[in-house]
Amino acid sequence: MNPKTESGSRKVQITETILRDAQQSLMATRLPYADYEDILSTMDKAGYYSIECWGGATFDSCLRYLNEDPWERLRNLRKNLPNTRLQMLLRGQNLLGYKHYHDDVVEKFIELSIKNGIDVIRIFDALNDFRNIETALASVKKYARERTVASGCISYTQSPVHTVQKYIEMCRELKKMGFDTICLKDMAGTMTPYEAEYLIKGIKDAIGDMTLILHTHSTTGMAYMTLTKAIESGIDVIDCATSCFSGGTSQPATETMYYALTQFGIETGLDEGIINKVNDFFKPVKQKYVDNGQINAKSLATDSQALVYKVPGGMLSNMIANLTDMHAMDKFDAALAEIPKVREDMGYPPLVTPLSQMVGNQAVTNVLVGERYKNISKEIKNYIKGEYGIPPAPIAQELIDKVLGENKPVDCRDEDKKRTGEDFAAAKEALGDLCQSEEDVMSYICYPDQTLKFLKYRREQAERESVYTIEPMD
Crossing angle of helices 272-291 and 254-263, in 10° steps, is: 150
The string of DSSP codes covering 110-178 is HHHHHHHT--EEEE--TT--THHHHHHHHHHHHH--TT-EEEEEEE---STT--HHHHHHHHHHHHHHT
User: Partners of 87 in the beta sheet?
Assistant: 52, 120
* x/- letters, 21..50, toward Co ion (CB under 5 A): x-----------------------------
Shortest distance, position 89 Cβ to Co ion, whole Å: 8
Judged by CB under 5 A, the number of residues near Co ion is 1
Site residues (CB under 5 A) for Co ion, limited to 7-26: 21
In the three-class reduction of DSSP (H, G, I as helix; E, B as strand; rest coil), residue 410 is classed as coil
Shortest distance, position 218 Cβ to Co ion, whole Å: 11
Q: Which is nearer to Co ion, 21 or 195 (CB)?
A: 21
Q: Which is nearer to Co ion, 21 or 338 (CB)?
A: 21
Contact 35, 68 (CB under 8 A): no
Q: Which is nearer to Co ion, 21 or 236 (CB)?
A: 21
Shortest distance, position 471 Cβ to Co ion, whole Å: 48
Shortest distance, position 189 Cβ to Co ion, whole Å: 9
Site residues (CB under 5 A) for Co ion, limited to 201-260: none
Q: Which is nearer to Co ion, 151 or 451 (CB)?
A: 151
Q: Where are the alpha helices (DSSP H) in 292-437?
A: 297-300, 305-309, 313-325, 332-345, 355-369, 378-385, 397-404, 412-416, 422-431
Shortest distance, position 187 Cβ to Co ion, whole Å: 5
Shortest distance, position 320 Cβ to Co ion, whole Å: 22
Shortest distance, position 21 Cβ to Co ion, whole Å: 4
Name the residue with the smallest CB distance to Co ion: 21
Q: Buried b / exposed e across 430-457, counting CB within 10 Å, b at 16+?
A: ebeeebeeebbbbbbbbbeebbbebbee
Contact 182, 210 (CB under 8 A): yes
Q: Which is nearer to Co ion, 185 or 204 (CB)?
A: 185
Shortest distance, position 250 Cβ to Co ion, whole Å: 9
In the three-class reduction of DSSP (H, G, I as helix; E, B as strand; rest coil), residue 14 is classed as strand
Q: Which is nearer to Co ion, 112 or 127 (CB)?
A: 127
Beta-sheet pairing, 13-16 with 181-185: unpaired
Q: Is the bond into 448 cis (omega within 30 degrees of 0)?
A: no
Q: Which is nearer to Co ion, 149 or 188 (CB)?
A: 188
Burial of 192 (0-12, 13-18, 19+ CB in 10 A): middle
Instruction: Name residues whose C-beta falls within 8 Å of residue 474's C-beta, 6 or more positions apart in sequence.
Output: none
Q: Which is nearer to Co ion, 302 or 382 (CB)?
A: 302
In the chain, the N- to C-terminal Cα span, in Å, equals 60
Contact 182, 207 (CB under 8 A): yes
**Binding of Co ion by 52 (CB under 5 A):** no
* x/- letters, 88..117, toward Co ion (CB under 5 A): ------------------------------
Q: Which is nearer to Co ion, 21 or 68 (CB)?
A: 21
Shortest distance, position 343 Cβ to Co ion, whole Å: 20
Quick one: DSSP state of residue 470? P
Q: Which is nearer to Co ion, 151 or 443 (CB)?
A: 151
Cα separation, 424 vs 105, whole angstroms: 8
- H/E segment holding residue 90: strand 86-90
Shortest distance, position 185 Cβ to Co ion, whole Å: 7
- Site residues (CB under 5 A) for Co ion? 21
